[in-house]
Structure formats: structure tokens, C-alpha cells
Structure 1
Amino acid sequence: MNLTVAVIAKECSPGKVKTRLTPPLKPEQAAALAQTSLSQTLETVRALPAARRLLVFDGTPHHADAAGFEVFPQGAGGLDERLAAICSLTAGPLLILGMDTPQLRCEQLAPLLADWETPAPAPRRAWFGPASDGGFWALGLYTPDGGLLRGVDMSTPHTGAQQWGRLAGAGLHVGVLPVLRDVDYFPDAVAAAWECSGSPFARAVDLLSEGLPAEWTRTAPSDAAPTPWAALT
């Protein structure tokens, strides 16, 4: 299908990536886990039926990560500007993903893929992947438009609601993907590992969990609490 999938990511350098994983991890361990998350996400994207795969990167990607991807540097400005800039790389349809949900499986994107495989005009002009912390992990735009992203306050508990409001306010019929949990803190990593048992990421989390106090290997209380997206799902 004529789909472009873009992954926005950054070089996994100690002390510059996934700093909220420390403690309990050391900066080097946090960076290594972030790299595993990125590589696993890229492997999933390689399995999607996409015409183009873009890696929009801050830094220099590993050769193995870049394989099968067109590599572009991230644009300037805040995250909203950098995401908006991705929209200029293709005429669409476009799916933008991050590197913080290694538990992502291809079948979780099946509703979007099935929807956009139908003859144009597609029933839904946008797809939204909510994150349990109030953000979002995926954004699909049948016709990419950076103006739908610019000015959205990123990395806040209200980011997803703002972005959803932008899409709805533009009159777009928006489809909703499953709620996923970003790996920000180590309990998030433990929860994500359970959802992708047997994967490289899960094995890495298992090794890092050895000898840690139980407080670090329990999932966070938000697992049992309603997410801000309960009404959408």
C-alpha cells in the first residue's frame, strides 16, 4: 500500500536518553535499554506493508538500525515543530511512530492498515494512538499537514487531548488505536516487557531486574487506574 511510516528517534547516548530510568539503572544501562527499544520498534516497522520507511533521527543511527530506512535528520525547534516537519517528507498517507513503545505489534495497527487499504477517499483521515500517560504514541494522517501539530504542547499530561482536539477541530474523522504505555520509568519497562515476552527488550528487562528491590519491578499504579482515553476505547 502507498503508506509511509516514519519513526522519530534519537541516538542512545548515556546521560542523554531515558534519564528517568535512572535510578535504578545506571546511565549506560538506560541507554542500552533505549537502544534495544529502538531496534525492536524498527524491526516491527520493517514488517509493516509500507511503501517507504523513514528514520527521522537526532544523531547517527547504527548501521543495522538504518537498514531498510531512508534516514533524515530531525528538524529544528520543539517536538511539535520536529513532528510537523515530517509531514513535508511525503504526500501521504503517513504514520508517525516514536521509539518508546517496544511492545508494539503489527496487529495493533491492523485497523489503520485495513482502513487505508480501501479505495480513496479513506473512511478516516486520521488515526490516533493514545498513550496511558495522556500523550500519544502514534499519529496517522492520510493527508499530512504540519499545521495539525505545530503549537501542540508536547510532553505534558494533556498533550494527547490537545492533539486529539486539533484533529477533531479540523473536521477529521479520527480512528483510535489501542492505548499503549510509553517506557519512561523502569516500572513502565517491566510492564512493556510483559506485553512482548520473549523479545530482545523483554530479555533485557529481565536481566536488569535481577537483584532489584520489588519497588522497581512492580508496575506503576496507573496500570490499574482508568486512563484519560477510557471514553475513546
Structure 2
Amino acid sequence: MALVGFLWGEVRFAGPDLSDTYLVVFKVRSDSPGCGAYDTLLTMDLETRTLTQLTHFPERLVYLAGRKVLQLQNRFGVFHSDPTLSNFQPYPLFPSLIADNRILQGSLSPVKLSPNGRYLLYLEGSSPAFGDLFFIDLDKGNRQLVSKKIEIDLASTPIVWAPDSSFFVYSKNGVIYYMSVRQLGEQRGVEESYRQIGPGRIGAMSPGGETSLYYVRANS
């Protein structure tokens, strides 16, 4: 079988077991910076070519109080539980082994789910130090590019959501930018240079009222 002993960067496929029903059970071992090596168990139906992930190692794990679910992130994708905090399912359109045979490598930048639980923002690495910012509408199943070449911060993605999820801000090269969810939904892209708020890093932004954020600018 092609999966046996196949080396791919930080990932190794091994240990297949073929059942009488043409279902292959195998494991994928991944070496994760900060977490060490761990195994993930999967199955593949050889007749339908359907891949199913059975176990999920939490490289990053957060509880989303608004949705009452757990959100789990690892190099195989981003997953959410059901309200019983089990039965993890992948978020659609996010790069994953199940959806598009992709396995993320290196350290992972945290994803940012909107307060209402409908939108997802994440950085997809374009180089070891930079990534492209993508926006996903989980209800409509749309994915859009927001900005390119944003510096990757492994501790936190440089994004702050408005409390009502109507817009978000992000920092890039020492400048803070604004992006409206409505404009993204209508695909009315506004040139990034016209969306500048001012100089600063994302720590200068903090939630205000229901539809506002506070911008703290240091005196020059």
C-alpha cells in the first residue's frame, strides 16, 4: 500500500490493517514543535476512497462559550465538537487531511473564530515567517483571501473581532487595518491601503461597545 512507510517532512504513514470489508485502518505519526510526536488513527474505504479521522490530538484546544463546543486545532485541520464536547468534525474549507489531503507543517498560528461562531480567520503559511490571511463564512461555505504576507505570531494571530462580529481588524508591518464582513460577503473588496486605521500593533486594539473597538495610539 502506498501509505506504508511514506515520509513527508514531519509526518510518517504506517501500520495499515486491511479488513474483510475493504476498510484500511492506519496511523499517521506527526512530529509537532512544542508537542512532540503523536499518532492519529484513520480509516480509508478502498471502494469509495473515503477517508475518516478517528482520533484528534489537541495541539491547540479552546472552549467556545458562545457555541458551547470545543475547538481543536492540529496539523490535520481545525475541528469542533458537538454540545456534549465529543464527536469532533472538521470545519469546511479549512485545509485538512480529510478535505484536500493536506497536512500543515511547522508551528501553527491560532485560528480566530468570530464571537457569533459564524466566521473563521486563519493564517495559511506562505513562508517560514509569513502567512496569508483567509476569511471563511461557515454558513455559506465561502473562503476569501483578506491579505498577504502577514508576519506569523505563534502565540496569537494578530486579529481582533468586533463584539458583534460585523468587522475585524488586523495588524501587518506595524500598521492596523480594518475589514468589514459585509464587504467580504458582497465581494466588494476595498484596496488595503484605504483600510488603514493607523500605526500600531494588534495589542493597541480592544473591544468597546457592541459594535466598536478602542484604538490606543501612543503619543509621538
- In the superposition, the TM-score normalised over structure 2's length comes to 0.28
**Greater C-alpha Rg:** 2
- The structure, 1 or 2, with the larger RCO (C-alpha pairs under 8 Å, 6+ apart) is 1
Q: Which has the higher helix share?
A: 1
